[in-house]
């Protein structure tokens, strides 16, 4: 019998009332510990070791497919072909799910960082979701098209974030819709969570008395930032606001027992938060066998 050389397709379904949410993995990224801010690097590394996680950090990249009211939306598009070879698995996993890109009628972006928006267009600048309307917060679109903000950024950010983001959204120019919060898709409400980026947003999915909050990049390294919500990332546009937003969202989901899904949670990405002393602890949701 042949020894498996890779995992089965990384797709997982969860029903929220009449809505089906599917985690579709885009793979993962290995990255520097130096981007973890407001904590000594040695302490951050020890927290990962204590949780039996790789050092340097390994960050999952998840996207979420939403099927609601006869329509199909995708939340974020992953790394595309522009980052590490360990990312960019979205289209392979969509194919395993039997979902063609042309069947997706809406792409909801949490924000325009490259591991979330680089799957929008191919190397020739053509839309990879030919029938989709692009939906994102109005402040997000404005910020990454602000020439003054681009000029203030370092060269890496100008190319990797500003220019790449503009290139990725360009083919959707005639079918882009911005929001400032509120319902953006059947059963889906956008919730502005600024700080990581100006228009960073989560999406609350609700149906039949059940709900799930896709909270975007509220956290990047769960083993560190859940017990230490003051820890920020070098790519937070406004670190103080990002930390304040994280605490606000943590308070909300812990108080309400709100089910959460995260782009950088370990696949399949579902969790709850509970109060733990003055901080919080993560309770991972397992596999959901019943549909």
pLDDT at 68: 98
Residue 257 lies inside a defined structural domain of this protein: yes
Q: What whole-number percentage of the chain has pLDDT above 90?
A: 95
Mean pLDDT in residue range 180-205: 98
**Prediction pTM value:** 0.97
How much is the average pLDDT of 79-106?
96
Give the residue with greater pLDDT, 179 vs 288: 179
Residue 75 has pLDDT above 90, yes or no: yes
Strand partners, 20: 15, 67
Average pLDDT of the residues in 115-143:
97
Of the pLDDT bands very low, low, confident and very high (cuts 50, 70, 90), residue 202 is very high
Total H helices, total E strands in the chain: 9, 16
Query: Looking at residues 14-24, what average pLDDT do you find?
Result: 97
Query: Does residue 291 sit within a domain?
Result: no
Is residue 249 assigned to a domain? yes
End-to-end Cα, the chain, rounded Å? 32
Predicted local confidence at residue 157, as pLDDT = 96
What is the model's pLDDT at position 290? 81
CATH number of the domain within which 213 lies: 3.60.15.10
**Which range of residues forms the domain containing residue 186?**
11-284
Structure confidence at residue 175 (pLDDT): 98
248's enclosing H/E stretch is helix 239-256
Mean pLDDT of the chain: 97
Beta bridge mates, 274: 281
Residue 2 located in a structural domain = no
Residue 93, pLDDT score: 98
What local confidence, expressed as pLDDT, does residue 24 receive? 98
pLDDT tens-digit series, residues 253-291:
999 999 999 999 999 999 999 998 888 999 999 888 887
- Mean pLDDT score, 174-178: 98
53-79 mean pLDDT: 98
Summarised one tens digit per residue, pLDDT across range 106-123 is 999 999 999 999 999 999
Alpha-carbon distances of 47 from 55, 163, 168, 266, rounded to whole Å = 10, 35, 36, 16
| pLDDT for res 283 | 95
Residue 167 lies in a domain: yes
What pLDDT was estimated at residue 288? Answer: 81
Half-sphere exposure of 5 (CA within 13 A, CB side): 1
For 102-167, give the DSSP string.
GG--EEE-S---HHHHTTSB-TTS-BSSTTPEEEEEHHHHHHHT-HHHHHHS-HHHIIIIIIHHHH
In a domain, 289, yes or no: no
Q: Is 6 a domain residue? A: no
Query: If you average pLDDT over residues 163-182, what whole number do you get?
Result: 98
* pLDDT above 90 for 231: yes
Q: In DSSP terms, which residues pair with 203 in a beta bridge?
A: 190, 214
CA distance 29 to 286: 22
Number of structural domains the chain divides into: 1
Distance CA 209, CA 207 (A): 6
């Amino acid at each position: 019998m042949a020894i498996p050389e890779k995992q089965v397709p990384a797709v997982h379904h969860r029903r929220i009332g009449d809505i089906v949410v599917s985690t579709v993995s885009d793979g993962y990224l290995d990255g520097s510990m130096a981007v973890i801010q407001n904590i000594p690097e040695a302490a951050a590394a020890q927290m990962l070791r204590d949780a039996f996680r790789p050092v340097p950090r390994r960050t999952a990249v998840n996207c979420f497919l939403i099927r609601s009211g006869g329509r199909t939306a995708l939340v974020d598009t992953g790394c595309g072909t522009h980052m590490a070879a360990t990312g960019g698995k979205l289209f392979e996993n969509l194919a395993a799910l039997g979902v063609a890109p042309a069947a997706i009628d809406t792409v909801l972006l949490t924000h325009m960082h490259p591991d979330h928006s680089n799957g929008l267009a191919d190397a020739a600048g053509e839309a990879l979701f030919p029938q989709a309307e692009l939906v994102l917060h109005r402040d997000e679109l404005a910020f990454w098209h602000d020439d003054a903000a681009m000029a203030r950024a370092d060269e890496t950010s100008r190319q990797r974030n500003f220019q790449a983001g503009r290139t990725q959204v360009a083919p959707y120019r005639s079918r882009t819709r911005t929001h400032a919060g509120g319902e953006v898709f059947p059963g889906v409400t956008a919730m502005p969570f600024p700080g990581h980026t100006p228009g960073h947003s989560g999406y609350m999915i609700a149906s039949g008395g059940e709900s799930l909050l896709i909270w975007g990049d509220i956290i990047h390294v769960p083993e560190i930032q859940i017990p230490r919500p003051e820890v920020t990332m070098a790519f937070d546009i406004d670190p103080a606001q990002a930390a304040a937003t994280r605490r606000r969202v943590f308070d909300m989901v812990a108080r309400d027992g709100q089910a959460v899904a995260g782009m950088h949670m370990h696949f399949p990405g579902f969790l709850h938060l509970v109060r733990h002393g003055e901080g919080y602890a993560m309770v991972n949701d397992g596999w959901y066998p019943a549909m």
